[in-house]
């Protein structure tokens, strides 16, 4: 018999990551406001801030702010261009620290990862004790600080890591999740975008606790089965998702269920394009690529079909995924029926480049540098800004 015990999950998030690495590299920067991003050109620069250290944040400077605005707020700050390969190296080093404590490491960006340390308790102590050891190792070996959330689920651990930044450690005991989440703003629920927030507002919900008090039925009626159920569970601190190390991750996909069934194939194709782009970007963030592309299509009445094709080479760019996805969609489609759901998955995953020990940092070749720039723009303007025009011309 398998006994399912409480899991012990850490979410580790490096503090002011790019800026902190720059401060470490040049101690003369310590204590001064540091902004990493594009060139400010005396306030006429057109790019954005990647990140700011905590001294610069006191001037209200933060990620994704136009660099000209940052300059206006603090012209005396030190402005630096990002050095991605340096941050990628540090990211790899930090990851090796995680791997001393568990095999179950799921990186979610260059400076964040989930760790399942349930099986490590006998060797190293409980979750908070392991969190202290990890923080000490990061400080001692990398001269950097991390904030760690510790809980029985990913969702609660992720929220906890953010509550006492920088250099924080927040542990939430099993059974106390709902109480911990209750006072937090509803916007912290995963999946609550602007539209959902407006609906929550109309339901009279400002905090996660307000949502937790609603009947599941009310949430499902308001948000649909899948999102309503998710909000119901998350608001009570219920989140069973496993920590998936990319050593065993087999596929990565995204799908969309339309609010109303859609007859217009242009809309379906544009949605599939957006999903392809999200999958591509997510694969790149994890340093992964896959050779099999699968499209899933559900029509009115719930008839569902999947079509897949395996390519010669693993792919992780929208330029490569989208044409295959579109062709699979067109061959699978029954044009007289309206479409309820469309999705795309890339599987048969492997590291994006052989010999690359890091799994989540885009490599430095030109294609990937372009992809990285696209990712940065997508972060600011929404996905699709750059490639849409070139790839969607016939849709
Ligand atoms: P974050 O973890 O969001 O931010 P941070 O580490 O700088 O600060 P915090 O202490 O609040 O966690 O992002 C990690 C790195 O990713 C960040 O150092 C720079 C980069 N980044 C961008 O380039 N653009 C962005 O819009 C964001 C949010 C981050
Ligand atoms: Ca961070």
**Residue 60: other Cβ atoms inside 10 A:** 12
User: What is the number of helices (H) and of strands (E) in the chain?
Assistant: 16, 12
Q: Cβ < 6 Å from ligand 1: which residues?
A: 13-18, 50-51, 63-64, 110-111, 165-166, 379
**Residue 237: other Cβ atoms inside 10 A:** 24
pLDDT tens by residue, 353-377: 643 333 333 444 455 555 666 666 6
* DSSP-based three-state secondary structure for 383: coil
Taking the alpha carbons at both ends of the chain, their separation in whole angstroms is 54
How far is the centre of ligand 1, averaged over its atoms, from the C-alpha of 65 (Å)?
12
User: Active-site positions?
Assistant: 112
Q: What is the pLDDT of residue 245?
A: 84
Using a 10 angstrom Cβ sphere, with 0-12 exposed, 13-18 middle and 19 or more buried, the burial of residue 7 is buried
Buried b (16+ CB within 10 A) or exposed e, 210-219: bbbebeeeeb
* DSSP-based three-state secondary structure for 189: coil
* DSSP-based three-state secondary structure for 176: coil
Closest C-alpha residue for ligand 1 atom 5: 16
Q: Where are the beta strands (DSSP E) in the chain?
A: 9-14, 34-37, 49-52, 78-80, 105-109, 112-116, 146-151, 169-171, 251-262, 288-299, 304-315, 339-351
Compute the distance between CA of residue 296 and CA of residue 280 in angstroms, rounded to an integer: 17
Q: What is the pLDDT of residue 288?
A: 84
* DSSP-based three-state secondary structure for 58: coil
> Six-digit token pair at 121?
């308790």
Contact 43, 71 (CB under 8 A): yes
Compute the distance between CA of residue 246 and CA of residue 107 in angstroms, rounded to an integer: 8
How far is the centre of ligand 1, averaged over its atoms, from the C-alpha of 11 (Å)?
15
Mutate to test the pocket of ligand 1, among 11, 23, 51 (most ligand atoms within 8 A of CB): 51
Ligand nearest to the CA of 20: 1
Closest C-alpha residue for ligand 1 atom 15: 17
Compute the distance between CA of residue 134 and CA of residue 136 in angstroms, rounded to an integer: 5
Mutate to test the pocket of ligand 1, among 23, 63, 161 (most ligand atoms within 8 A of CB): 63
> Six-digit token pair at 218?
């009310």
How far is the centre of ligand 1, averaged over its atoms, from the C-alpha of 105 (Å)?
20
Contact 273, 388 (CB under 8 A): yes
Ligand nearest to the CA of 376: 1
**Residue 195: other Cβ atoms inside 10 A:** 10
pLDDT tens by residue, 5-53: 689 999 999 999 999 999 999 999 999 999 999 999 999 999 999 999 9
Pairing of strands 112-116, 105-109: antiparallel
Compute the distance between CA of residue 54 and CA of residue 27 in angstroms, rounded to an integer: 15
Which atom of ligand 1 is least distant from the CA of 13? Answer: 12
Using a 10 angstrom Cβ sphere, with 0-12 exposed, 13-18 middle and 19 or more buried, the burial of residue 69 is middle
Contact 276, 292 (CB under 8 A): no
Compute the distance between CA of residue 72 and CA of residue 344 in angstroms, rounded to an integer: 43
Q: What is the pLDDT of residue 355?
A: 35
Closest C-alpha residue for ligand 1 atom 8: 16
Write down the pTM of the prediction: 0.67
Contact 169, 132 (CB under 8 A): yes
- The length of the chain, given as a count of residues: 395
Full pLDDT tens readout for the chain, 395 residues: 333 468 999 999 999 999 999 999 999 999 999 999 999 999 999 999 999 999 999 999 999 999 999 999 999 999 999 999 999 999 999 998 999 999 899 999 999 999 999 999 999 999 999 999 999 999 999 999 999 999 999 999 999 999 999 999 999 999 999 999 999 999 999 989 999 999 999 999 999 999 999 999 999 999 999 999 999 999 999 999 989 886 656 788 999 989 899 999 999 999 999 999 999 998 887 778 999 999 999 999 878 899 999 999 999 999 999 999 999 999 999 999 999 999 999 998 887 764 333 333 344 445 555 566 666 665 555 554 555 656 665 55
Query: Which conformational region is residue 243 in: left (phi greater than 0), alpha (psi within -120 to 50 degrees), or beta?
Result: beta
In the block, tokens 């030190």 appear at: 78
Ligand nearest to the CA of 53: 1
Main-chain phi, psi angles of 98, to 5 degrees: -55, -40
Compute the distance between CA of residue 283 and CA of residue 224 in angstroms, rounded to an integer: 28
* DSSP-based three-state secondary structure for 227: helix
Buried b (16+ CB within 10 A) or exposed e, 140-177: eebebbbbbbbbbbbbbbbbbbeeeeeebbbbbeeeeb
């Amino acid at each position: 018999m398998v006994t399912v015990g409480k899991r012990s999950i850490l979410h580790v998030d490096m503090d002011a990551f790019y800026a902190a690495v720059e401060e470490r590299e040049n101690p003369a920067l310590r204590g001064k406001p540091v902004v990493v991003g594009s060139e400010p050109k005396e306030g006429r620069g057109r790019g954005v801030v990647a990140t700011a250290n905590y001294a610069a944040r006191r001037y209200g400077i933060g990620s994704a702010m136009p660099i000209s605005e940052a300059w206006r707020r603090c012209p005396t700050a030190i402005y630096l261009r990002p050095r991605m390969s340096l941050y990628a190296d540090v990211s790899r080093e930090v990851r090796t620290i995680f791997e001393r404590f568990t095999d179950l490491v799921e990186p979610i960006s260059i400076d964040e990862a989930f760790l399942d340390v349930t099986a490590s308790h006998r060797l190293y102590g409980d979750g908070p004790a392991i969190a202290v050891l990890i923080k000490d190792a990061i400080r001692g070996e990398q001269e950097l600080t991390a904030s760690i959330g510790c809980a029985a689920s990913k969702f609660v651990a992720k929220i906890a890591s953010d509550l006492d930044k920088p250099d924080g450690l927040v542990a939430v005991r099993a059974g106390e999740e709902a109480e911990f989440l209750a006072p937090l703003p509803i916007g912290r629920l995963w999946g609550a975008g602007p539209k959902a927030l407006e609906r929550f507002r109309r339901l009279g919900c400002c905090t996660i606790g307000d949502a937790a008090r609603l009947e599941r039925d009310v949430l499902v009626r308001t948000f649909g089965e899948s999102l309503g159920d998710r909000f119901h569970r998350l608001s009570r601190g219920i989140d069973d998702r496993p920590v998936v190390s990319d050593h065993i991750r087999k596929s990565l996909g995204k799908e969309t269920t339309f609010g109303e069934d859609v007859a217009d194939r242009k809309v379906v194709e544009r949605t599939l394009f957006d999903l392809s782009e999200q999958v591509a970007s997510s694969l790149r963030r994890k340093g992964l690529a896959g050779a099999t592309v699968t499209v899933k299509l559900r029509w009115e009445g719930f008839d569902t079909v999947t079509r897949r094709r395996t390519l010669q080479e693993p792919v992780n760019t929208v330029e490569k995924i989208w044409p295959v996805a579109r062709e699979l969609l067109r061959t699978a489609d029954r044009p007289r029926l309206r479409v309820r759901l469309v999705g795309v998955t890339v599987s048969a995953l492997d590291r994006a480049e052989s010999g690359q020990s890091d799994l989540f940092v885009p490599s430095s070749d030109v294609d990937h540098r372009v992809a990285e720039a696209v990712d940065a723009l997508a972060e600011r303007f929404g996905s699709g800004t750059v490639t849409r025009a070139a790839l969607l011309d016939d849709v």
